[in-house]
Structure 1
Amino acid sequence: MIGRLNHVAIVVPDLPEAVARYRDALGAEVEPPQDLPEHGVRVVFVTLPNTKVELLEPLGEGSPVEGFLGKNASGGIHHICYEVDDILAARDRLVGAGARVLGGGEPRIGAHGKPVLFLHPKDFNGTLIELEQA
């Protein structure tokens, strides 16, 4: 059911500093920042030959990643994202197998302009999983 790894998301306390570190120290190609107010985050994608790294920082009050930074002041890995061919079929299969879909279970449009869902980390060995329509 799951396809390729789309990205690994890292929450950071200072997005410009993290971008500079990836770009200057690691020599990575970084995309311009995107504000995603519907998700409460500002994101930058770091392009790698085989996947991407998504750097996230809170955008505004009540961001879902604020609590993560409250517990992990220097940031850290937040979630991993897998591609699926049919996000609704994937959701239905997962729910049928007992997995919990966060946010009411309906896909929302993610940073790549495609439908996404998040799966409860307690159902996947403590890892928050994002599914993205391929």
Structure 2
Amino acid sequence: MIGRLNHVAIAVRDIAAATAVYRDTLGARVSQAVPLPEHGVTTVFVELPNTKIELLEPLGADSPIARFLEKAPDGGIHHLCYEVGDIRAARDRLVEAGARVLGDGEPKTGAHGKPVLFLHPKDFCGTLVELEEA
């Protein structure tokens, strides 16, 4: 059901500083910062040959990333995103198997402009999983 790893998301306090690490220290190609108010984050994508790294900075105190950083002040891996061919079919199969979809269970538009869903970390070895329709 899952396809390729689309990205690994890392929560950061300072997206400009984190971007500089990937761009200037590691020599990676990075996108411009894009605020996504509907998700409570600002994102930067680090382009790698085989996947992406998504840097997430909280956009406001109510951001889920702000809450994550309260528990992990230095930041860290927030979630893994896998591609699926049909997000609704994947959701239905996962729910039938006992997995919990976060939120209202309906796909939302993600940072790439494609439908996404998040799956409860307790159902996936302690890891928050994002599914993105390919």
Report the TM-score, using the length of structure 2 for normalisation: 0.99
Which residue does the alignment assign to 2:55?
Answer: 55
Consecutive unaligned residues in structure 2, runs of 5 or more: none
Match in the other structure for 1:90:
90
TM-score, normalising length from structure 1? 0.99
Gaps of 5+ in 1: none
Off by >2 Å, runs of 4+ in structure 1: none
User: Matches of 1:11 and 1:104 in 2, distance apart?
Assistant: 23
Deviations 1:25-78 (A, max 9, x none): 000000001100000000000000000000000001300111110011110000
Q: Distance in 2 between matches of 1:58 and 1:68?
A: 9
Q: Which residue number corresponds to residue 106 of structure 1?
A: 106
Q: How many residues align?
A: 134
Q: Give the residue type in structure 2 aligned to 1:95.
A: V
> Could you list the per-position Cα deviations for residues 81-125 of structure 1 after superposition, in whole angstroms to 9, with x for gaps in the alignment?
000000000000000000000011000000000000000000000
Percent of aligned positions that are identical:
72
